[in-house]
Chain A
Amino acid sequence: MQVFKVYFKVIYKNMIQIAIYLMVFLFFLIVLANTYNSPENTNYAEIKVNMAFINYDKDSKIVEGLKDYISSKANIVSIEDDVQKLQDALFFREVEYIVKVPEGFTKSLLNEGSITLDKTSLPESASGIYMDSIINKYLNTVKTYASTLPDLSHEELTRSVHNDMDQNAEVVLNSYSKEASESEKCSYYFNYLAYSLLSILILGISAVMIVFNQSDLKKRNLCSPVRLRTMYFQIIMGSLIFTLVIWFILVLASFIMYGSYMFTTKGILFIINSLIFAVVSLSIGYLTGNAIKNKNVMSAVTNVVVLGTSFISGVFVPQALLGDTVKAIASFTPNYWYVKSNNTIAGMVNVNMENLSPIFVNMLIMMGFAAVMLVMTMFVVRRNRMSNS
């Protein structure tokens, strides 16, 4: 048991670094839980675009009516008419649409003049097209009334237009919505988990392996009465238990976040998937631990491996937004298959063999990665032994 005990002594010495990664993960979680707000109720809700409405045509009932109508369809954010402030707001998507009503617009509208509204939208965006269509619809309706019923007072005109605009089509929501949004949140959680799990396992296991691979220490160990096989066995047991503990802590947090959802079939699939990924991470950690010799290189390699594979395989940015080339490269990393499984689990409507088999295939591929890593580790270990003797 001596080796096993030493294993955890080394881990304990590196606790601060490991704790930092756990903290980063928890921080991500809090941000995630606060920013991702999918509709909780099962009713249909229109998306409200954030926009700025700047009016220079004062004292116009019609422009006021337009503003009222827009505010029922969009969120009007008040921003003063200052070029830089508007530029900033659009750049950082504080608003996605800006409309300016010039002076004399109402008069021009009612007399078929040519004054138009100035609008700024995000280029080619859906929100821009939508806002264009509802503003044009309102103004065209005003125009129709003004040209067909010229005697209508402005108040009455506005009232009629609003009456028309209140006509809403019936929307039926074919819903498994609540469950779907829960699954989506949970898949984000498990995707991020890949980053922390991989970082912590590579750092922890490498730290231990670097200690055991120190040339002098290794020579001393080799002439101790503990058999080589027993020693390796204890190291492997140590790694396994370390992996399981870290995995358990990370998965435990998901129970706190999502509660009873984790006991559904999908929740259990997420957990199994992450366990298999933990085994792959263990093998990667074992390989890097045996391949590198000092601690400075360790943090560089960890960052390159973890950030690199996480970025291209959809851990931070959804896979659907990645380019095809990137995805093709990413398919050579286990993270890609892990994230893909998570997404498949989240998107699954009916749990049956047909839908489950792609997930099992992904899991097998991950196991394949683990096997390849272990074989490579064996080569590295053998090479190290040769060069030592």
Chain B
Amino acid sequence: MIFHNYLYRLKCIVRDRTMMFWSMLFPILLATLFNMAFSNISSAEIFSKIKIGVVDNAEYGENTFFVNSLKSVSGEGERDLFEVKYISKDEGDKLLEDGKIEGYIYFDDGIKLVVKKSGMNQTVLKGFVDDYNQTLSTIKTIYGKNPSMDQSKLMSSISNRIDYLKEVPVSKSSPDSIVTYFYALIAMACLYGGFLGLKEVMAIQADMTAQGARVNMAPVHKLKLFASSMLAAATIQLIIIFILIAYLVLLLKINFGSQLGYILLTCIMGSITGVSFGTFIAVIVKKSEGVKIGVMIGVTMLMSFFSGMMYDKIKYIISTNIPILSYLNPVSLIADCFYSLYYYDTHTKFFIDIILLCGHNIIFGLVTYSVIRRQKYASL
């Protein structure tokens, strides 16, 4: 009997086209759009050679120290900073105005830098120019303290630059913040499973749907009936999430790390949470179907916003300032599971998230059960 109901509930859910659009196609559509819009966004952070101009006048030509140090950081090499054009001052102004160069250097009684705005590239350029002045000052100070200093020894000490910094990666995965958007999106899709949960509760409540009225007449144990409905909703939701993740991984090449088992566990927990969230909303909002759906979408969107779906840094701001809010937010917990698996080396945070999700499920389940159990209708 349970299996029979289960099968028919599956069919009912799949044939509801509007619902399938919102719970399956809409997240896929959003993921596609995120991917199109964000595919190049992290390249904004990646350093590319800065185009600069140098005014090639007599004072510049005489300054062999500067000429050499500029040569050492410009050119074709991987680690070079600048792409240099040798120009006149008027050309420099023109190129700068057209945005062809970020700034230009000229010598007129000392080194001068001309830029159009303040920015990271301009700051790097300024750092290089300052470096020149600072070195001159060092040489002057040393000769001031020890006039008999051996020139070649001093020059070799200055030009022999040591790299005192060693890169230590902070995690096994690169800090690519774009993944936050996709993780929050999956979490949102999980909670959209609420549409299914909501529909299932409506379908057994006699005061909400004609079908509910009919079902209440039938001599079936309500708990059995409800269990098979929930199982059907969770099954469909899980399949939807699998399709979404397969789409993200195989077509959009989003990185989820490599811990397949844990990712599966997160999907299952997320799907169940979504469905139970829907039943929870369905029983506590005692209004028409439209209002219930409206509340569900509104709450889910708000929770997705706080998990970083619209602006990735929100997640961090919340979790460092008001951590309790991120524990109370199932979307944030699901997104955080994926994030922990991708980025952290340990599983502590992951299991805390999963346990908290279980807690949410228990509360949603108990509330739903306590409201719909032994519902009796005076007249059908």
Stretch at the interface among B29-37, B203-211, B243-251, B365-373: B29-37
Residues of B within 8 A of A148 (CB): 142, 146, 149, 153-154, 157
Of chain B, the residue at the smallest CB distance from A31 is B311
Indicate whether A375 reaches chain B with its CB closer than 8 angstroms. Answer: no
User: Could you say which of B37, B145, B162 contacts A326, with CB atoms under 8 Å apart?
Assistant: B37
User: Could you say which of B124, B165, B344 contacts A130, with CB atoms under 8 Å apart?
Assistant: B124
**How close is B55's CB to chain A, nearest CB, in angstroms?**
12
Known: A98-B170, A147-B157, A311-B34. A300 touches B21 (CB 8 A): yes
User: Could you say which of A126, A135, A143, A326 contacts B165, with CB atoms under 8 Å apart?
Assistant: A135
Known: A117-B164, A326-B36. A149 touches B41 (CB 8 A): no
* Bound Cα distance A47, B127 (Å): 11
Known: A133-B128, A164-B137, A180-B117. A139 touches B164 (CB 8 A): yes
Which residue, B34, B124, B319, has most C-beta atoms of chain A within 10 A? B124
30 contacts between A and B (CB under 8 A): A47-B120, A47-B122, A47-B123, A83-B345, A87-B171, A87-B344, A88-B320, A90-B175, A92-B316, A100-B168, A116-B165, A120-B168, A122-B175, A124-B47, A126-B124, A129-B47, A136-B162, A139-B164, A164-B138, A169-B132, A169-B133, A172-B112, A174-B93, A300-B18, A300-B21, A304-B29, A307-B29, A311-B33, A317-B38, A326-B37
The answer on a CB contact under 8 Å between B120 and A126 is yes
Indicate whether B356 reaches chain A with its CB closer than 8 angstroms. Answer: no
User: Could you say which of B115, B121, B136, B345 contacts A173, with CB atoms under 8 Å apart?
Assistant: B115
Of chain B, the residue at the smallest CB distance from A135 is B165
Interface residues on B, range: 35 or more
Known: A129-B81, A169-B132, A174-B93. A140 touches B161 (CB 8 A): yes
Interface SS of chain B: helix
Indicate whether B62 reaches chain A with its CB closer than 8 angstroms. Answer: no
Indicate whether B71 reaches chain A with its CB closer than 8 angstroms. Answer: no
The answer on a CB contact under 8 Å between B96 and A174 is yes
Indicate whether B90 reaches chain A with its CB closer than 8 angstroms. Answer: no
Of chain A, the residue at the smallest CB distance from B108 is A170
B88-123 contacts to A, CB under 8 A, are 93, 96-97, 99, 110-123
The answer on a CB contact under 8 Å between B343 and A129 is no
The answer on a CB contact under 8 Å between B141 and A164 is yes
B146-201 contacts to A, CB under 8 A, are 146, 149, 153-154, 157-158, 161-171, 174-175, 177, 180
